[in-house]
Structure 1
Amino acid sequence: MSKYIYPDAIIATAGHVDHGKTTLVHALSGVWVARYSEEIKRAMTVKLGYITIGLYECPSMDSEFRIISDGLLKDGKCPNGDEPALKRKVSILDVPGHEVLISTMISGISYIDAALLVIDASMPVPQPQTEEHFTALTIMGLNKLIVVQNKLDLVNKEQALENYKQIKQFLGNTWAKNSPVIPISSLHKVNIEVISTLIDKLVPPREASGGDFRMFVLRSFNVNKPGTSPDKLVGGVLGGTVIKGSAKVNDEIEIRPGLKLGNKYEPIITRIVSIAIGNERIEEARPGGLVGIGTELDPALTKADSLVGSVVGKPGTLPPVWSELTLEFHRIEKPGDQALRDVTFKPRDIVMVHVGSAAVMGIVKGFHGGKLDITLRKAVSTEQNSKVVITKQVNNRWRIVGYGILKDGNTVLE
């Protein structure tokens, strides 16, 4: 039995709704990750979709871009007939682009290694969510970006060049000013080998990390089909990304913030019964990929993403659970954006707080001296001095208005 090759990096898509993020993931993987009825009906990504792809070398391809992914394999062969040599695997995280789903997007990029910023070549740059997603990537401290100029099949040469100029102008004074801009057609799989080659070249494998096991939950499932007999029921499944350390089958784990009991929270303790990446069963979860962990939990606790935003670790190693936050607030400054410049906070204002993979509604208690006090409607588990992204409605749109550093607050579980 051959040894399983573990994914060694996580790459997220980003960009405005309907610019082709999910189609790009399909071109890279050969799999359509929009699998939920609401997504198919609305033709847009609603939930986070994730998939692992292989990166293969095709030695005799007549191009400098000789690294292809699963979506370009034909009957298990390279496009030129070579036998593909698997170099590595990476995980792709497909995030939604619509403004009402910005919380889902931010939770998805809370721990990634690089991003594919997808831009429709037939539309002016930047579109609203292009700008919001790029702001989120900037706050998260990302420093690796590949710009994907998609839908080249819909424009002529002059339109493509004008769109390219707008992209360069948009990124001109930012950390991403030297990021490659690759013209492609996801629909027709044109230049997809350039994207996969650049992923391999620009995104190094994540280094193994020690320390206590820590995982952010991005999805949670009940995988039992309706009508399953009690003796065949399996426990709830947690999907997400490992931040540090590792865990194995049969390890005991703790989940925070856990169950709310009155004004307190009770951590959830369970055991790992299985670990999987895609359809592959493995024995250990570690950083670098998006994994699914089967547990002994009652599946009612994990159904319909009910544990999204939770933190998983070995019992006794997880950070406190907070119901109120005092943040050192840092405003987002965008030249010419007067609406953002005028944003302030008043008592009882509604905000969204994003920390780790959690997106939680909050109510402002006060804002003075650069300190923002927020009462959360649902507690979060995180360390002191964590970075917290704040979104707020500005002119009837949810906008990223800044970020805060957690300095103090009220804990309901130490």
Structure 2
Amino acid sequence: MTDAIDVKKLTPLSMEAMANQATINIGTIGHVAHGKSTLVKALSGVTTTRFRDELERNITIKLGYANAKIYKCDNEECPRPGCFASYESSKEVAFACTRPGCSGTMRLVRHVSFVDCPGHDLLMATMLSGAAIMDAALLLVAANESCPQPQTSEHLAAVETMKLENIIILQNKVDLISEERALDNHSQIQAFIKGTIAEKSPIIPISAQLKFNVEAVAEYIYRSIPVPVRDFSAASRLIVIRSFDVNKPGYEVDQLKGGVPGGSILQGVIRVGEDVEIRPGYIELDADGKYIARPYRTRVVELMAERNQLQFAVPGGLIGMGTLLDPTLCRGDRLVGSVLGAVGTLPKVLIDIKINYFLLRRLLGVASEGKKQAKISKLAKNEELQLTIGSSAVGARVAGVKDKEAKLVLSRPTCAEPGESIALSRRFERNWRLIGWAKIVSARSIRLDSD
């Protein structure tokens, strides 16, 4: 019974949680076609490109996700990195070591969830949404191309603005080049990360396609990514990064299932049978022309972590949540950007915010072909920006600027609270490009129907 579990004693390494659910989120970032999805498949056995457009173009378009268990042999004489291994999320917590001649037992030491971000420049907003739930990142750099490529720079800047400090750099595709070229590319990577948040990050040569050195990747995830601090006793809160209608054409009425929001729990524990709230919910105008938010309320009827069915879910990992919601509310990622959690405990729904901001010096992620990267000008009154608040990409108009502070009017009400970090993007040649980051200082909220 989940009621018998003392949530105050749970940690991300508690076997009660880790056996069935990932408790650490790791993003895979980098330029398009540098091997992010291939690496995730090598570690987890799961293909993250699942949609027709993704399969046809062989790129990630939506946020992909896959869970993997990382094991370490308990025999001290089992040599590294072969004493580490990774398997799919449904694997048992312990089994005999598969290394010839070793009598040890492979024991579960980490259960991680990979957030596979698209590398294409037009999908930067999607990548930023994924960055909101990352505890660490694997930055893939193709060894057969010069470093940095445009989105290599932009993705590193993005995780830097989101204050993500735990980064492992993977020099992929070393099987395609000579040792001399690999060493030259390694030097390029070192020069690229100098002075950045990744300056002291390990650089691991791998071939994701051939699964070469993936045991070393598993070892570094275990050794160099610290276990994140989680608050299991706080009121539950989940950030929605996907939402689905799982019903198929032709279903009978008694076969229909409610909508499925998916995302990562930031704090607290969510149980099957619990009543939850989703904000902002349905937005409408009242008789005076002012916004009013009607949060959705529903009950959790099922919790899933990939194929593992859960009775309770803890912070970390990506969770799919069966509910009693009208499935049309979840269709086509309609709930992305929402916040879900214990009734009456979620942040307010904001329409105006005041921010303290920081801008990058130059525009990143644009192929220049000999041209210098464009300088980023100061924010201007009445200009249009795109903000990434949690997993929500929302437009905003600059209503006023003073020194490093600005007042922004959001294009639609968004659930957030003062103190949150957000990413700022500006339109450049018809595309939104990352220009900096900010922190919400204060805000004006709209009325809830329960007020």
Matched, 1:255 2:278: yes
Instruction: Tell me which of 246, 251, 258 is aligned to 1:235.
Output: 258
Identity of aligned residues (%): 36
Matched, 1:302 2:336: no
Matched, 1:40 2:59: no
Counterpart of 1:7 in structure 2 is 22
Which digits, 9 at most, give the CA deviation of each residue in 1:110-141, with x for residues without a partner?
A: 12211000001011111111111111111111
**1:340–1:401: 8 Å Cα contact kept in structure 2?**
no
Instruction: Tell me which of 307, 328, 331 is aligned to 1:279.
Output: 307
Question: What letter corresponds to residue 51 of structure 1 in structure 2?
Answer: A
Which digits, 9 at most, give the CA deviation of each residue in 1:166-207, with x for residues without a partner?
A: 111111112221110000100011000000111011123334
Instruction: Tell me which of 115, 120, 143 is aligned to 2:142.
Output: 120
1:102 match: secondary structure = helix
| Distance in 2 of aligned mates of 1:207 and 1:345 | 35
| Distance in 1 of aligned mates of 2:372 and 2:209 | 38
| Distance in 2 of aligned mates of 1:395 and 1:261 | 33
* Displacement after TM superposition at 1:364 (Å): 2.8
Question: What letter corresponds to residue 153 of structure 1 in structure 2?
Answer: D
**2:20–2:305: 8 Å Cα contact kept in structure 1?**
no
**2:162–2:422: 8 Å Cα contact kept in structure 1?**
no
1:287 match: secondary structure = coil
Which digits, 9 at most, give the CA deviation of each residue in 1:10-49, with x for residues without a partner?
A: 1110101110000000110111111000111111101111
Instruction: Tell me which of 432, 445, 451 is aligned to 1:398.
Output: 432
| Distance in 2 of aligned mates of 1:8 and 1:53 | 11
**1:67–1:200: 8 Å Cα contact kept in structure 2?**
no
| Distance in 2 of aligned mates of 1:177 and 1:397 | 29
Matched, 1:80 2:99: yes
Which digits, 9 at most, give the CA deviation of each residue in 1:124-171, with x for residues without a partner?
A: 111111111111111111111110000111111121111111111111
Task: Provide the TM-score with structure 1 as the length reference.
Answer: 0.93
**2:21–2:308: 8 Å Cα contact kept in structure 1?**
no
Matched, 1:352 2:369: no
| Distance in 2 of aligned mates of 1:21 and 1:294 | 29
**2:363–2:433: 8 Å Cα contact kept in structure 1?**
no
**2:304–2:321: 8 Å Cα contact kept in structure 1?**
yes
Does 53-62 or 401-410 show the bigger shift? 53-62
| Distance in 1 of aligned mates of 2:447 and 2:420 | 17
Which digits, 9 at most, give the CA deviation of each residue in 1:265-311, with x for residues without a partner?
A: 11111111111111111111111211111111000000110000101
Instruction: Tell me which of 43, 47, 52 is aligned to 1:28.
Output: 43
Counterpart of 2:223 in structure 1 is 201
Does 377-386 or 141-150 show the bigger shift? 377-386
| Distance in 2 of aligned mates of 1:341 and 1:334 | 4
| Distance in 1 of aligned mates of 2:270 and 2:441 | 30
Matched, 1:314 2:314: no
* Displacement after TM superposition at 1:403 (Å): 1.3
CA 1:141–1:190: 2 relative to 1, 3 Å: same
RMSD (Å), alpha carbons: 2.4
**2:279–2:339: 8 Å Cα contact kept in structure 1?**
yes
**2:347–2:417: 8 Å Cα contact kept in structure 1?**
yes
1:84 match: secondary structure = strand
Matched, 1:266 2:294: yes
| Distance in 2 of aligned mates of 1:155 and 1:396 | 36
Task: Provide the TM-score with structure 2 as the length reference.
Answer: 0.86
1:6 match: secondary structure = coil
Please list every run of 5 or more consecutive structure 2 residues that lacks an aligned counterpart in the other structure: 1-14, 286-290, 365-370
| Distance in 1 of aligned mates of 2:381 and 2:322 | 42
Question: What letter corresponds to residue 36 of structure 1 in structure 2?
Answer: F
| Distance in 2 of aligned mates of 1:237 and 1:96 | 23
| Distance in 1 of aligned mates of 2:413 and 2:39 | 36
Please list every run of 5 or more consecutive structure 1 residues that lacks an aligned counterpart in the other structure: none
Matched, 1:213 2:247: no
* Displacement after TM superposition at 1:347 (Å): 4.0
* Displacement after TM superposition at 1:348 (Å): 4.1
Question: What letter corresponds to residue 164 of structure 2 in structure 1?
Answer: L
Counterpart of 1:97 in structure 2 is 119
CA 1:340–1:267: 2 relative to 1, 3 Å: farther
| Distance in 2 of aligned mates of 1:342 and 1:390 | 12
| Distance in 1 of aligned mates of 2:338 and 2:306 | 21
Aligned pair count reads: 412
